[in-house]
């Protein structure tokens, strides 16, 4: 499968499988982040989930999807190495570790940390990585401003930014897929407005 078809399939999963779940989740006071696990072989959906922090603040969309994945019967569950991990938003530090510890060697995401902070009003991905992990360089005494927040390609996984992938495509694929991202962006902005109007009432620690 070539890259435009892969990206198109991942946008389908977000639109058809994750958005309906997320609408329900946000309606119950949860954040709008979702995740899916697909088979690499045919891109069929294994698990789709969304944030469920009202039950447990660790049930981010990705963590919740991993929990459901490992609740599947072992005989019908593909090996994580044979799966593709999709996150609607770039995974936070918790979910980066969750993806790593559960054996996935990749993830794809639609919205970046900056989108999450600037468009969706949730600054914690960047804040936690900087506050908890960005240890000052002992020689220089400060954290270089251009230091990446995490290694997007490392010994455990490779991260793929769907919008960056689209930006590198031929013109017709790019126009078609950018239009789809715009529609998804609008749908997520509506959900974000609902969450932001209601947040703080459900006991989520970082809301």
CB nearer to Zn ion: give 55 or 82. 55
* Binding mask of the shown chain, residues 102 to 131, with x at each position contacting Zn ion by CB under 5 A: ------------------------------
Is residue 95 part of the contact set for Zn ion (CB under 5 A)? yes
C-beta of 30 vs 177, nearer to Zn ion: 30
Q: Site map for Zn ion, 152-171, x if CB under 5 A?
A: --------------------
Nearby residues of 56 by Cβ (< 8 Å), 6 or more positions away: none
Eight-class DSSP state of 76: G
66 lies in the site for Zn ion, by CB under 5 A: no
Instruction: Give how far Cα 147 sits from Cα of 23, 47, 100, 142, 151, Å.
Output: 35, 34, 21, 11, 10
Segment lying near Zn ion (by CB under 5 A), choices 1-9, 84-92, 138-146, 180-188: 84-92
43/11 Cα distance (integer angstroms)? 12
Q: Shortest CA distance to 62 belongs to which of 35, 100, 89, 93?
A: 35
Residue 94 C-beta: closest distance to Zn ion, Å? 5
User: How far is residue 9's CA from residue 6's CA, in Å, rounded to a whole number?
Assistant: 5
Least distance between Zn ion and beta carbon 30 (Å): 12
């Amino acid at each position: 499968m070539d890259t435009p078809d892969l990206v198109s399939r991942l946008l389908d999963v977000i639109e058809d499988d994750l958005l309906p779940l997320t609408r329900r989740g946000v309606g119950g006071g949860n954040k709008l982040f979702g995740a899916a696990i697909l088979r690499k072989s045919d891109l069929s959906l294994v698990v789709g989930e969304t944030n469920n922090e009202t039950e447990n603040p660790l049930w981010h969309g990705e963590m919740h999807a991993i929990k459901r994945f490992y609740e599947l019967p072992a005989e019908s569950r593909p090996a994580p190495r044979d799966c593709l991990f999709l996150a609607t938003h770039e995974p936070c530090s918790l979910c980066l570790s969750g993806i790593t510890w559960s054996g996935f060697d990749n993830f794809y995401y639609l919205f970046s940390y900056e989108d999450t902070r600037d468009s969706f009003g949730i600054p914690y991905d960047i804040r936690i990585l900087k506050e908890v992990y960005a240890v000052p360089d002992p020689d220089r005494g400060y954290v270089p401003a251009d230091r990446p927040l995490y290694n997007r390609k490392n010994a455990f996984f490779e991260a793929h930014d769907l919008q960056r992938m689209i930006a590198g495509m031929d013109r017709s694929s790019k126009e078609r897929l950018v239009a789809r991202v715009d529609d998804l962006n609008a749908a997520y902005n509506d959900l974000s407005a609902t969450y932001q109007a209601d947040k703080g009432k459900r006991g989520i620690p970082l809301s």
